[in-house]
Amino acid sequence: MTLVSDDTAGRDVGPRIGVWALEEGAFGSPHHPDDPHDASWERIKGQVLLAEELGFDSTLIAQLFISPWGEEYDQGEAWSLAAALAALTERIEIIAAIKPYAYPPAIAAKMALQIEEISKGRFAINFVNGWFVLEARRLGLQFYEHDERYDYGREWITIVRELLAGRPSTFDGRWFRTDGYVPRPASRWRERPRIYAGGESPPARALVADTVDTWFMNGQPIERVAQLIEDVRARPRVGPPVTFGLSAFVIARETDEEADEAHREAWEIGKSDAAEQAWLAAQVDPRVQMFQTYARYPHIGSNGGTAAGLVGSYDTVAERIRAFHELGIELFMLQFQPFEDEMRRFAEHVMPRVRATSVSA
């Protein structure tokens, strides 16, 4: 199920374009002179309201209880932010990430349906299996081994899917038992909120093919993205085909040369992050595929960032977005720095170029 209106059914309306919410305070470097770390509610509120005004379709709020920059940094909380943003916005899709080991599935489903009610059918969850070992330990949460976390997550998402659709859940598994709970109200606008998921390991891909609507991939070269899409599409699946999303950090300028220079400047600024990067590397579960991908493709930004190649002139970036879309990427979740200024630049110069190629009715 998509958020596209009925009059677009059966034709290509072009990709949806989203932005990461600034609950981490910065993407790129927390030491950027024009975009220092700021995870305040006032900034996040202003950023997402501006994104909606500029025509962005979606926003993703990552779930972190401790900042990935370090424990001394402020960090926003995803689900309280999602509820507040749901009440303040009118059109933009709001996606809140969730770690299954942090919430029992029935509680998570009830929370999701409440935000679905507040947003009038614009809420979605992003299932993330987790990588932050220190965070789980600080919170007193059970952090199983990598593949066992996916076994746990499979039970969790099975229950959540039923409950999000307003159906009773009676489940007896290794980790969870439910006894006929039916959350109310169910969604008044659609069958259920959309379910996204991240993760690129074999267990993650199997879970995606079986249970979720949209698979979020980390930014990486288009050839690798094509391989991942082909792998998941080839897996057995019941129901509508899975759709695909991609994270990317954008550096767009009038010319390719100007963009390359801005990219070099961003790498120079990033050198000041050495202490934060070393701290983060020490907190990661080494089996998490995301960080193995990071090692292959150096980048700026989180979740693959500039490794997706959205660095260049306005025409170049638009062409690369269209190429990813032709492969099957339905939603692009973008980062910028300085965020608000570069988000405006993208909306003014790149978004019209991307959307000009949508097939007319």
Summarize pLDDT for 189-229 with one digit per residue, the tens.
999 999 999 989 899 999 999 999 999 999 999 999 999 99
Instruction: Judge whether 193 lies within some domain.
Output: yes
Instruction: Judge whether 9 lies within some domain.
Output: no
N residues, the chain: 361
Instruction: Judge whether 238 lies within some domain.
Output: yes
Percent helix / strand / coil, the chain, rounded to 5: 45, 15, 40
* Structural domains counted in the chain: 1
Instruction: Judge whether 141 lies within some domain.
Output: yes
Instruction: Judge whether 34 lies within some domain.
Output: yes
Average pLDDT over every residue of 268-283 = 91
**What is the radius of gyration, based on Cα positions, of the chain?**
19
Instruction: Judge whether 293 lies within some domain.
Output: yes
Taking the C-alpha atoms of residue 229 and residue 330, their distance in angstroms, rounded to an integer, is 12
pLDDT per residue over 327-339, tens digit each?
A: 999 999 999 999 9
Which residues are 141's β-sheet partners? Answer: none
Give yes or no for a cis peptide into 100 (omega within 30° of 0).
Answer: no
Question: Of all helices (H) and strands (E), which one includes residue 157?
Answer: helix 146-164
Instruction: Judge whether 218 lies within some domain.
Output: yes
Instruction: Judge whether 360 lies within some domain.
Output: no
CATH number reported for the structural domain that contains residue 222 in this entry = 3.20.20.30
pLDDT per residue over 39-87, tens digit each?
A: 999 999 999 999 999 999 999 999 999 999 999 999 999 999 999 999 9
* 45: containing domain: 15-355
